[in-house]
Structure 1
Amino acid sequence: MAGHSKWKNIQRRKNAQDAKRGKIFMKLAKEIFVAAKQGGGDPDTNASLRLVIDKAKANNMPNDNIERAIKKATGDLDGVNYEEMTYEGYGPGGVAVMVSALTDNKNRTAAEIRHAFNKNGGNLGENGCVSFMFDRKGYLVIPKDSTDLDEDDLMLEVIEAGAEEMETTDEGYEIFTEPEEFTNVKEQLQEKGFTFSVAELTMIPQTTSPLSGDDVHKMLQLIDVLEDNEDVQEVYHNLEADEEVMNQM
């Protein structure tokens, strides 16, 4: 995967933003709602729902919240209907940006996202304008302190489970899979006793866009504004910035 050697830089920024989201339970409830609406409310037969529930539990979402979202989707409780939307555009310096949203009002969400781009040095484009720059992948991270296996032995386990490749970082082992193999790889590794600090389907940029100076600040502001929107589930981008500059920001 060309360009994913810079993924750690991008992912670290994303994780820092996730940690400060005050609306994360609402976003997770929407994801659970859509997964249950599309594939049924039983996580044993709905892999997408099972994945979102795992994500919700990893974020300490109460079981009552999870069950309420499922019941709304299956008609046991009254609730609104959410529609999945994807928005694409460019941030400062031409950084590619994709925004995944769940909304009950497309006009409102589109207007808010367009305003966020315009106000922070970017511009919203047409669907397809940047999506070709990203690959959808399963992404798992095994923390180094959670396993006694050395890199070579772990690599064999990962390959045997069906993963595409593995990279070693200072913090852990990053595992990449094809989307359709993600759940199978995750479950096989869990059965062998491995735990994950990250386990998600995501969009990984094929190449990155280096930024410096004020453009980095503007781009981070754009990400903050987008992620703070209650309809936005994920923001994907290909920003590459010096780590020292990122830490200062």
Structure 2
Amino acid sequence: MTVIDYAAAYGYSSLVAAIIFAVAYVPLCAFFIVQCFRALTYVYIVLTVFCTIRVGAFVIRAIMIGSDTSGDSLDLLVTDQILFSIGFFGLLNAAYTLVLDRDLLRKTLPSENPISRIFRNRRLFHIIMIVAVALGVYGITSSMHNPTSSVASTCRKASVLIFLGLTIVQAFLTIASINKEIQDGYRPMQASSLGDRYGSFILCAISLLLLVREAFMVATITNSQKEADEHFWYPLVALPEILAIMLYCTPGLVPPRSKLPQ
């Protein structure tokens, strides 16, 4: 079976779209690399890694669609799927970290809601994300080589559901942070940068985009063909991701590490 056969079997067909997204991520990756040198922060690091992973994933997708030669195409497909799966870790992690860091910068007291306090435990959040990534990688690798494996299918579903839950948590913290701003009388319009002025709205937009992405993944959790259908995948997965990345480029949105309390 040739590379093009595997690509077509899994629903990969749009070479132009794959190339456009691969090229679009290159300047975004360069932007975050520059930001890392200017003001190194954890958020910029994970966004740089995310963009790099997306460039690699879309390049592999383009190679699979455009190649007409024989090769180890199954390994390419597995690699491509793993890269798309683990890449979301960085995007969600950046959104979660940014909400908490901006609260620290404003010296906003955490909500007294016990649920909010649990969700603000960064170590716990990261551990759960790592578990979701591990389940996803195992599920993808096993299902590609053994499509009938019920264990692999269960692991993939568990990974998707965990990421949806964590995305909802991130959105909840964003709303809680905005409510706290209102209660504390924070005046963002007095700030000089766009990130400070409209940071709350931008974070809400990022949260919404992540929810759209995960909602689609859950809606197609039992239908891999529908999930891979590029008519749905690009507008509901690829597009929300890159729009969220573009929003991270807003000046002043990511607080510099030097200004954060130790």
TM-score (norm 2): 0.24
Q: Which has the larger radius of gyration?
A: 2
More strand by share: 1
